[in-house]
Amino acid sequence: MFRSTNIARIFPIKHCLSLRVFRNQRSLHTRLFGDRTERFIHGSLTFAGVLGGFVCYQQYGVKSLNEVNCQDIQSPEQNEGNITLYQFASCPFCNKVRTFLDYYGMEYKIVEVDPIFKKEIKFSEYRKVPIVVIQDIQLNDSSLIISILRSYLLKQDSLEQLLKYYPPITVRGSNNKETVEYANRYGIMYKQDFNESKLKEIKLERKWRKWVDDTFVHTLSPNIYRTWREAMEASEYFSHVGDFSATQKFLAKYIGAVFMYYIGKKMKKKYGLKDDVREAMYDEVKVFLKALGKRKFLGGKQPNLADLAMFGVLRGIEDLSTVEDLKKYTDIKPWFDRMKLAVETHQGAGPITS
């Protein structure tokens, strides 16, 4: 395992929501049962809430950037076996990164992160997922990870050099809180000139990658946890995709479903979705399909990064009724099946020139 002092940059990321438990007050549980039992109850509820689903949202925190020297990275083929992805299996942003790595045939190791203690990422100053470690360099933020690794596959710059092309910009929002943005979050660092047609393709890819993050992903949790039955279905499913004990799975299924049902309602209100959240999701899928047109993929004959992003956030819930309904009541199934084949057979593997 690499040392945290040898990290080139630590980026704020889009992350999975952890239900916060206030531990500073001496609660009735503590008075009745003692501190250890209080911590166990709170930890169990927190675990259930986190594992019970993947309510993910965009939040950019302010972190200091720690730039130190790091070794030059060799060619992707030589380095693929040294990629480690720290994830929650149920998080759509983590699934975006996995989809990218799978499509391009990049070998990697998965480390499932304990959603309560997060001991697997104790090396990291930033405590969210996804995190990718490639040799001694840590990358955060699913879209930044993808942009940097896609640029790296062009073999034009070392990873250390590529990091300089994604400078952080600190901004202050209307709530007077500072956040960190990246103007190049969706940019691929090509070092060549393109004709007008190729530039149009690049612009389209950026637009729809951003749309997945800013718009479509927010329709997921209100749909996955739309009803009590669906909340139970999702919580049971997510409790089995990670490496968890029988007790943790039980808590995730039953207590997690309660948490996530109400949080799904909160997300619906936060993002202004219509009362029929299924229709809201169908509407957004139809927007995507209109952009797709008669092409096999948004990228044309092969998937581009927007295709991978859209498929990635759906991939983790493929076995739930939400995606089953999408396939039944919209025209997304042919595209989805083509994407599934392309990703699972690593059709992006091989030399990349543009």
Q: Calculate mean pLDDT across residues 173-188.
A: 86
Instruction: Residue count of the chain, please give it.
Output: 354
Instruction: Return the pLDDT at 242.
Output: 63
The continuous run of DSSP H or E covering 23 comes out as none
- In the predicted structure, residue 52 carries a pLDDT above the cut 70: no
The DSSP result for 193-235, as a single string, is ---HHHHHHHHHHHHHHHHHHHTGGGGHHHHHTSSHHHHHHHH
pLDDT of residue 341: 99
CA 346 to chain centre: 20
CA distance 263 to 265: 5
Q: Which of 6-10, 239-243, 251-255, 318-322 has the lowest mean pLDDT?
A: 6-10
Q: Which domains does the chain have, with CATH numbers?
A: 83-345 (1.20.1050.10)
Residue 271's H or E segment, with its range, is none
Which of 336, 310, 94, 317 has its CA nearest to residue 221? 317
Do 163 and 8 contact (CB within 8 A), yes or no?
A: yes
**Residue 14: pLDDT over 70:** no
First to last CA, the chain: 33
The strand pair at 56-57 and 83-87 is best described as: unpaired
- Using the Cα atoms of residue 167, residue 171, residue 177 and residue 181 in order, give the sign of their dihedral: negative
State if pTM tops 0.85.
no
Instruction: Beginning with the edge strand found earlier in the chain, give each strand of the sheet holding 83-87 in spatial order.
Output: 109-112, 83-87, 131-134, 137-140
Confidence of residue 68 (pLDDT cuts 50, 70, 90): very low
Query: Does the pLDDT of residue 2 top 80, yes or no?
Result: no
Question: Helix, strand, or coil here: 60?
Answer: coil
Higher pLDDT among residues 218 and 353, named by residue: 218
The partner residues of 84 in beta bridges, in order of sequence, read 109, 133
**Could you tell me which of 83, 138, 131, 128 has the C-alpha nearest to residue 105?**
83
Average pLDDT for 143-155: 96
Closest listed residue to residue 340, CA positions, set 315, 310, 309: 315
- Residues 308, 331: Cα–Cα separation, whole Å: 18
| Strand extents, DSSP E, the chain | 15-16, 56-57, 83-87, 109-112, 131-134, 137-140, 168-172, 178-182
DSSP code of 120?
G
Residue 4 pLDDT grade (very low, low, confident, very high; cuts 50, 70, 90): very low
Q: How big is the chain by its Cα radius of gyration, in Å?
A: 21
CA distance 249 to 241: 10
CB 286 within 8 A of CB 330: yes
Q: Residue 110 pLDDT more than 90?
A: yes
